[in-house]
Amino acid sequence: MARSIDFQSILAKLRHFYRDAKRAPTFSEMKTLFGYRSKGGVSVLIPHLVQRGIFRKDAGGRLSPGKLLEGKIRLLGSVQAGFPSPAEEELTDTLSLDEFLIRKPAASYLVKVTGDSMTGAGIFPGDLVIVERGREAAHGDIVVAQVDGQWTMKFFEKHKGQVVLRAANPKYPLIRPQNELVIGGVVVANVRKYH
Amino acid sequence: MSASTINFFPASILHVDCDAFFSSVEQALRPELKGRPVVTGRERGIVACASYEAKALGVKRPMRIFEARKVCRDLVCLPSDYETYSLYSRRMFEILRRFTPAVEEYSIDEAFADLSGLRRLHRTGYAGIAWKIKEQVRQELALTVSAGLAASKILSKMASKEKKPDGFTVFRTSQLDRILDRMDLERVCGFGPNTVALLRKNGVRFVRDYTLRPEAWARGLLGKTGAELWHELRGESVYAVETAPKDDYASISKCKTFTPPSGDRDFVRAQLLRNLESAFIKLRRHGLRARSLTVFLRDREFETVGLEAAWDRSTASTVEAAGLAASLFDRIFRPGFDYRLTGVVLSKLESDRTVQYGLFDDVPRLESLRAVDRVIDSANAVYGKHALHLGTGLWIARHRQHLTERGDLPSRKTELLKGETFRQRLNVPVWQIKV
């Protein structure tokens, strides 16, 4: 039986690598990436990857990311012969809900909302917000912050160069941090599950 | 290796070690615990990890929780939440891999990273890369790590221990003479108490005394490992950073304590068989088969008895092993004794890729056992580990795993989010703040 190569999963791994490292992987990195036992296996694969536009080979034989790896054209799946199936074409460039909601997996946390200070922005008690740590807050972001020892979730705004925290609920006054303000993270998504 | 190469950092290995990992994770997720003495391990009654605040007040590992409470009255004792710790562990390794693909996951809270040749890529020196890593971990995980940078794994691990918490220490190869000069032998990981005693008898008092002896002497006294350590301690890297996930296990073991100790035969047997199931799940996940099975029981007095049996052919089947484990159990279980731990060890492991059936093997039956394993593994992949288990596992429900006091389960397992079950929860840590 001829061995078929799962180009889709290989491309997904390469894209992931390229997204993080911004360069083409070395042979030994590809060996690890694809779970091969030797670099020889990788070298057999390379011409196929070049042919498919995943890599480009320059005059000196060096590899650089091809059009497919840079994400400029759609991958048409790993079809042996004939026309690509439309279903595969549609599905190769999709995001999972995870990837859609979470941009930086290592820095993202769930916070269960208890207060009502952001109801005007559509965040209600019981909601689950995804908070990204270590991201710089910009004007208009919803942030989780510690003000004078108390944790709170508010709009982060700059009024004439001064940072203020504004609730999306008229019940709560504007907070102008007096002593200490720690931005814990930026709210990047809100998840509300009904069933 | 010639003397000239060791002057300019021949290899650069970074060892990263999280500070008081379990309790630091708890403090990161519950800001109200910051600055307070915290320990984890409440469900076992033994301190598993003490925060620096608790250590400063005299709490040590492995103290009993009630002793620790006597030492420190405001101690916060939390049940271990290994699921969340594992999520953090994975995140820490992910951050390291952004800097170098050569990362070895040494334990849940420790890693080696080979930084050789990465200076140009990151436009900074090795120390600069280490500082960047520390900063990323602090920003994204709110944890501090201690790091050590040196030319070999052994030296980098010793360096990271030099200054804790939140430390960073470089052992430059050119300064090794000075660094190792008055360093105690116990500081070398690889030198246990017996080795240290043997070395002292031979007139070696400090680490440098060891590296000054000839290599042949080290090999003669301590064998191959002694010679390897001799090179590593001189800044000549022998041990490579192993990036491949560990698949070449020599053995797989699973054991679990339960409190209070129990003399209930069915319950203890069920505990043992649950460990067997876990061990076989791991065995199959790594594509392995085992030829030998050891079961052991530890009683209230910490006395351990075990029994080993071997198959004439390797197996990966839970069902096939369960019968053997149960009969071994019957031979070591003594009525009237209370047991606190059961465990199994699978050894003589071989790859699942080449299966050699014996002449008298009932091949159709073995094939159907394989099919059963596939069903178990795929059902558990959907519904959670041990969702589909051996019938004896039902006896586990007779007692809870840990019955000492309320609150022995981590809050992550009791305060479920909508849609989560006791077996499966979201793979994102929950930050416990009130907003």
CA separation for the pair A135, A143 (Å, rounded): 10
Residue A25, pLDDT score: 85
Q: Which residue has the tokens 């002057």?
A: B7
Spatial neighbors of B259 by CB under 8 A, at least 6 apart, are: B43, B44, B45, B340, B402, B403, B404
Question: Given an 8 Å threshold on Cβ–Cβ distance, is B433 in contact with A29?
Answer: no
Strand partners, B299: B339
Which DSSP helix (H) or strand (E) runs through B276? helix B265-285
ipTM for this prediction:
0.72
What pLDDT was estimated at residue B21? 97
Give A61's DSSP letter.
S
- pLDDT tops 50 at residue B103: yes
Q: Does B430 touch chain A (CB under 8 A)?
A: yes
Burial of B204-241, coded b for 16+ CB within 10 Å and e otherwise, reads bebbbbbbebeeebbeebbeeebbbbbbbbbbbbebeb
Q: What are the distances in angstroms from CA A31 to CA A40, A45, A112, B360?
A: 9, 11, 42, 41
Asked if the model's pLDDT at residue B92 lies above 60, the reply is: yes
Among residues B407, B428, B408, B416, the alpha carbon closest in space to that of B29 is found at B428
Structure confidence at residue B94 (pLDDT): 94
Minimum distance, in Å, between the CA of residue B299 and any CA atom of chain A? 41
What are residue B308's DSSP bridge partners?
B294
**Integer CA distances (angstroms), A66 to A17, A19, A76, A91, B26, in order:** 14, 13, 15, 21, 44
**Are B167 and B160 within 8 A, CB to CB?**
yes
| pLDDT, chain B, mean | 89
> Measured in whole angstroms, how far is the alpha carbon of residue B343 from the centre of its chain?
16
pLDDT at B392 (0 to 100):
86
pLDDT cut 70: percent of chain A above it: 86
pLDDT of residue B7: 41
B176: Cβ contacts below 8 Å, ≥ 6 apart: B155, B211, B233, B234, B235
Q: Which of A25, A104, A151 sits opposite B433 (nearest CB)?
A: A151
Chain A nearest-CA distance from B175, in A, is 33
Contacts of B101 in chain A (CB under 8 A): 25, 29, 32
Res. A116: pLDDT tops 60? yes
Q: What is the pTM of this model?
A: 0.72
- Residue-level pLDDT at A8: 78
| B176-217 residue pLDDT tens | 999 999 999 999 988 989 999 999 999 999 999 999 999 999
Which one-letter DSSP state was computed for residue B383?
H
A193 touches B at CB < 8 Å: yes
Residue that the structure tokens 């809270």 belong to: B109
- Three-class DSSP category at B258: strand
CB within 8 Å of B80: residues ≥ 6 apart: B22, B40, B41, B42, B43, B44, B48, B410
Among B97, B101, B140, beta carbon nearest to A133: B140
The segment with the largest mean pLDDT, out of A2-11, B39-48, B89-98, is B89-98
Mean pLDDT of A163-170: 95
Q: Which of A9, A39, A72, A154 is catalytic?
A: A154
Q: Is A112 on the interface with B (CB under 8 A)?
A: yes
Please determine, for residue B2, whether its predicted confidence score (pLDDT) is greater than 50: no
Which sign does the torsion angle of CA A189, A190, A192, A193 carry? positive
CB contact under 8 A, B428 and A112: no
> Is there a catalytic annotation at residue A117?
yes
Residue B329 has pLDDT above 50, yes or no: yes
Using a CB–CB cutoff of 8 Å, tell me whether B244 touches chain A.
Answer: yes
Taking only the tens place, the pLDDT of each residue in B232-274 is 999 999 999 988 776 667 788 898 888 788 899 999 999 999 9
Is there a contact between B40 and B80 (Cβ–Cβ < 8 Å)? Answer: yes
- pLDDT tens column, A71-96: 554 444 444 554 555 555 566 678 88
Q: Does B91 contact A151 at a Cβ distance shorter than 8 Å?
A: no
Query: What is the percent of chain B with per-residue pLDDT over 70, rounded to a whole number?
Result: 95
Q: Which of A19-23, A174-178, B334-338, B340-344 has the lowest mean pLDDT?
A: A19-23
State the burial class of residue B336 (Cβ atoms within 10 Å of its Cβ: 0-12, 13-18, 19+): exposed
- Of chain A, the percentage scoring pLDDT greater than 90 comes to 39
Nearest CA in chain A to B428: A109
- State percent of chain B over pLDDT 90: 60
Task: Tell me if chain B has a CB within 8 Å of the CB of A59.
Answer: no
* pLDDT, mean of residues B105-116: 94
**Residues A107-134, mean pLDDT to the nearest whole number:** 95
| B141 in contact with chain A, both atoms CB, cutoff 8 A | yes
Q: Is B110 annotated in the active site?
A: yes
Contact residues, chain B, for A106 at CB < 8 Å: 91, 94-95, 140-141
Element counts in chain B: helices (H) and strands (E): 15, 12
Any chain B CB within 8 A of the CB of A53? no
Tell me what the mean pLDDT of segment B98-114 comes to: 94
